[in-house]
Amino acid sequence: MHKSSTRSWAEPFKIKMVEPVFMTNYEQRQKFIEDAGYNTFLLRSKEVYIDLLTDSGTSAMSDRQWAGMMMGDEAYAGSENFYHLEAAVQKYYGYKYVIPTHQGRGAEHLLSKILIKQGDFLPGNMYFTTTRLHQELAGGTFIDVIIDEAHDPESEFKFKGNIDLQKLKDVIESKKPENVPYICVATTVNMAGGQPISLHNLKEVRKMADQYGIAIVHDMTRVAENAFMIQQHEPGYLNKSVAEIILEICSLTDHATMSAKKDALVNIGGFLATNDDDLYTEASNWVVVYEGLHTYGGLAGRDMEAMAIGIAESVQDDHIRARVGQVHYLGERLLEFGVPIVRPLGTHGIFLDAKKILPHVSQDNFPAQTLAAELFLDSGVRAMERGIVSAGRDEKTGKHNYPKLELVRLTIPRRVYTQAHMDVVAESVNEVYLNRDKIKGLEMTYEPKYLRFFQARFRKL
Ligand code: F0G
> What does the pLDDT look like over 283-324, one tens digit per residue?
999 999 999 999 999 999 999 999 999 999 999 999 999 999
Q: So what's the pLDDT on residue 179?
A: 98
Q: Is the pLDDT of residue 98 over 70?
A: yes
Q: Taking the CA atoms of 325, 330, 334 and 339 in sequence, report the sign of the dihedral they define.
A: negative
Q: What is the pLDDT of residues 239-253, one digit of tens each?
A: 999 999 999 999 999
Q: Is the pLDDT of residue 342 over 80?
A: yes
CA distance linking residue 151 with residue 353, whole number of Å:
12
Q: What letters, b where the CB count within 10 A reaches 16 and e where it falls short, cover 263-272?
A: bbbbbbbbbb
Q: So what's the pLDDT on residue 23?
A: 94
Q: What is the mean pLDDT of the chain?
A: 97
Q: Is 135 in the pocket of ligand 1 (CB under 6 A)?
A: no
As a whole-number percent, the residues of the chain with pLDDT over 90 amount to: 97
Asked if residue 352 lies in contact with residue 415, where contact means CB atoms within 8 angstroms, the answer is no
Q: So what's the pLDDT on residue 386?
A: 94
CA distance linking residue 226 with residue 411, whole number of Å:
16
Q: So what's the pLDDT on residue 314?
A: 98
Mean predicted confidence (pLDDT) in 181-210: 97
The residue type found at 177 is: P
Q: How far is the CA of 252 from the centre of ligand 1 (A)?
A: 22
Q: How far is the CA of 42 from the centre of ligand 1 (A)?
A: 18
Q: So what's the pLDDT on residue 445?
A: 97
Active site residue 386: yes
DSSP letter (8 states) at residue 96: S
Torsion, CA 32, CA 38, CA 43, CA 47, rounded to 10: 40
Q: Is 195 in the pocket of ligand 1 (CB under 6 A)?
A: no
Q: Is the pLDDT of residue 395 over 90?
A: no
Q: What is the pLDDT of residues 350-360, one digit of tens each?
A: 999 999 999 99
Asked if residue 298 lies in contact with residue 271, where contact means CB atoms within 8 angstroms, the answer is no
- 3-class DSSP state of 151: helix
For 113-240, list the strands marked E by DSSP. 121-124, 141-144, 182-186, 215-219
Q: Is the pLDDT of residue 3 over 70?
A: no
Q: How far is the CA of 239 from the centre of ligand 1 (A)?
A: 30
Q: Is 65 in the pocket of ligand 1 (CB under 6 A)?
A: no
Asked if residue 453 lies in contact with residue 129, where contact means CB atoms within 8 angstroms, the answer is yes
Catalytic residue among 164, 219, 263, 303: 219
**Residue 183's beta-bridge partner residues?**
216
Q: How confident is the model at residue 7 (pLDDT cuts 50, 70, 90)?
A: confident
Asked if residue 107 lies in contact with residue 279, where contact means CB atoms within 8 angstroms, the answer is no
Count Cβ atoms below 10 Å from residue 238 Cβ, excluding itself.
13
Q: So what's the pLDDT on residue 6?
A: 75
Chain CA centroid to CA 145, Å = 18
Mean predicted confidence (pLDDT) in 143-149: 98
Active site residue 262: yes
Catalytic residue among 40, 58, 101, 129: 129
Torsion, CA 122, CA 123, CA 126, CA 132, rounded to 10: 0
Active site residue 32: no
**Taking CA 451 as the corner, what is the angle to CA 393 and CA 221, rounded to the nearest 5 degrees?**
120
Q: So what's the pLDDT on residue 1?
A: 45
Asked if residue 55 lies in contact with residue 411, where contact means CB atoms within 8 angstroms, the answer is yes
CA distance linking residue 152 with residue 403, whole number of Å:
11
Q: Is the pLDDT of residue 2 over 90?
A: no
For residue 381, the surrounding DSSP H or E stretch is strand 381-382
At 79, give phi and psi (nearest 5°).
-55, 135
Q: Which of 222, 202, 243 minimizes the C-alpha distance to 88?
A: 243
What is the DSSP pairing of strand 381-382 with strand 349-353?
unpaired
- 3-class DSSP state of 83: helix
Of the options 3.40.50.300, 3.90.420.10, 3.40.640.10, 3.40.50.720, the CATH number for the domain spanning 63-314: 3.40.640.10
Q: Is the pLDDT of residue 417 over 80?
A: yes
CA distance linking residue 167 with residue 145, whole number of Å:
6
Q: What is the pLDDT of residues 165-180, one digit of tens each?
A: 999 999 999 999 999 9
CA distance linking residue 406 with residue 385, whole number of Å:
8
Q: How confident is the model at residue 5 (pLDDT cuts 50, 70, 90)?
A: low
Residues whose CB is less than 8 angstroms from the CB of residue 383 and which lie 6 or more positions away in sequence, other chains included: 40, 52, 53, 352, 371, 372, 375, 376, 408, 409, 410, 411
Give domain limits for the chain: 26-55+317-460, 63-314
Of the options 3.90.1150.10, 3.30.70.1350, 3.60.21.10, 3.40.50.2000, the CATH number for the domain spanning 26-55+317-460: 3.90.1150.10
Q: Is 79 in the pocket of ligand 1 (CB under 6 A)?
A: no
Exposure of 427 by Cβ count < 10 A (0-12 exposed, 13-18 middle, 19+ buried)?
Answer: middle
Q: So what's the pLDDT on residue 4?
A: 52
